[in-house]
Structure 1
Amino acid sequence: MQQPVFLVSGLPRSGTSMMMKMLEAGGIEIVTDHLRQADDDNPKGYYELEKVKHLQNDARWMHYMRGKALKVVSSLLFYVPLSLPYKVIFMRRAIGEILASQKKMLDSRGEDSNTVSDDVLRQKYETHLEKIQDWIAARRNVECLYIEYAEILKDPLAGARAVQEFLGQPLQIEAMAAVVDPDLYRNRVG
């Protein structure tokens, strides 16, 4: 069996950077170009690769990612090459928290965060999540582990164990759990 590509995905502001940092601490080779630097909104870094933003135009390079982890925002999952096997760690977070986090991030950058109402964005995100979950379920080459952001912050060791079991790799689960910082859970709902 071919070694899979490990993808960390989810909506923006759902904990994907935290999961990438956990994988790195666990001993998985991560792929990032460090172009987007850490800031007040993501003080531990974004763990992004600029090429991912252009998957719909060129995804040939993905064939070199087997056994490595990279972050692919959920809207771009549709463009990964279907000839490869994937293990996707999909981060879930309450949509209200995502919206609050995005608003705070845009405000801190001086960008207008009121161009679309929260109700419209919430509906778009919910529709998108339904589509992406259906897409994942319909793919034989894609396995997926859904991780709740709030749950992994409550019990990072259990989350790290679940990731290790899903990936089928020996990981340094204590090191993975140690990078989870509950103080960064700043936009809670409910």
Structure 2
Amino acid sequence: MFKKIFGSLGRRPTQTQSSTPTATITVVSGLPRSGTSLMMRMLEAGGIPPLTDHQRTADDDNPGGYYEFERVKQLEKGDTAWLTEMSGKVVKVISLLLRHLPSDYHYKVVFMERDLTEVLASQRKMLSNRHEDEAVNEAVDDAQMTALFTHHLQEIRQWLAAHDNFAVLYVNYGDLLANPQPTVAALKRFLGDWLDTAAMLTVIDPTLYRNRQE
């Protein structure tokens, strides 16, 4: 599944060029299975409505829901009109698609980071639960995907740092679950003092940290 999503990792990131940035859009990003859905749930509890179409419903792999908006997947094909609906909302955009966001907006990105071994283990478990054949040849795939992901994450960090219309807060998934208060405080500073941090803390369930690497 990761290979389908990240098949274009070798391409150099470029951003869609447009006019001077105006409105600010809040984005949750990161690799799939890195904690992006949890962060979306936290921000929703904190008072930021999510942009989601509810097409992908909660399941055993993601009991709290996926918080996805299908049109995000069409960003690389130029479908950006939906961004006009983003006022006061937050949307989930996987890290590979960040470069396709148009430059006529400012973005505040909460970027989830997680141990790559945990990311791949979580993905394998999800594939197994869905009885998909890609769960085979794990060792080879893990080695290849770890190298690809490492390169991609380094590249996207550099790309984000080079674009003035992106402000980024990096959040470690393991740290968030182990000691959420510092992260919630950082989110409040980054996104706004009006966030309901008490409500955000209530949706964090450490028991869902199911692929922890000791």
Tell me the TM-score normalized by structure 2: 0.85
Does the aligned pair in 2 maintain the 1:3–1:67 contact within 8 Å? no
- Aligned to 2:42, the other structure's residue is in SS state helix
In structure 2, C-alpha distance between the alignment counterparts of 1:156 and 1:176, rounded to whole Å: 9
Structure 2 unaligned regions, length at least 5: 1-20
1:182 aligns with 2:202: no
- Pick which of 58-67 and 69-78 moved more: 58-67
Aligned counterparts, 1:52-71, within 5 A: 52-57=72-77, 58-71=79-92
Question: Alignment length, in residue pairs?
Answer: 190
In structure 1, C-alpha distance between the alignment counterparts of 2:193 and 2:102, rounded to whole Å: 23
Which residue in 2 is equivalent to 1:91? 112
Deviation at 1:168, TM superposition (A): 2.5
Structure 1 unaligned regions, length at least 5: none
Does the aligned pair in 2 maintain the 1:25–1:175 contact within 8 Å? yes
Q: CA RMSD in A?
A: 1.3
**What is the letter of the counterpart of residue 59 of structure 1?**
T
In structure 2, C-alpha distance between the alignment counterparts of 1:66 and 1:133, rounded to whole Å: 25
Alignment equivalent of 1:30, drawn from 32, 50, 71: 50
Alignment equivalent of 1:49, drawn from 55, 69, 72: 69
**What is the letter of the counterpart of residue 144 of structure 1?**
V
Which residue in 1 is equivalent to 2:124? 103
Deviation at 1:62, TM superposition (A): 1.3
- Aligned to 1:103, the other structure's residue is in SS state helix
Deviation at 1:101, TM superposition (A): 0.3
In structure 2, C-alpha distance between the alignment counterparts of 1:126 and 1:138, rounded to whole Å: 19
In structure 2, C-alpha distance between the alignment counterparts of 1:63 and 1:81, rounded to whole Å: 12
Does the aligned pair in 2 maintain the 1:153–1:182 contact within 8 Å? yes
In structure 1, C-alpha distance between the alignment counterparts of 2:85 and 2:185, rounded to whole Å: 27
In structure 2, C-alpha distance between the alignment counterparts of 1:178 and 1:63, rounded to whole Å: 31
Q: How much identity, in percent, do the aligned residues show?
A: 49
The runs of 4+ residues in structure 1 deviating greater than 4 Å are none
Aligned counterparts, 1:27-176, within 5 A: 27-57=47-77, 58-112=79-133, 113-114=135-136, 117-176=141-200
In structure 1, C-alpha distance between the alignment counterparts of 2:106 and 2:87, rounded to whole Å: 8
**What is the letter of the counterpart of residue 79 of structure 1?**
H
**What is the letter of the counterpart of residue 88 of structure 2?**
G
Deviation at 1:160, TM superposition (A): 1.4
Does the aligned pair in 1 maintain the 2:22–2:104 contact within 8 Å? no
**What is the letter of the counterpart of residue 168 of structure 1?**
G
Deviations 1:64-91 (A, max 9, x none): 3133100001111111111100000000
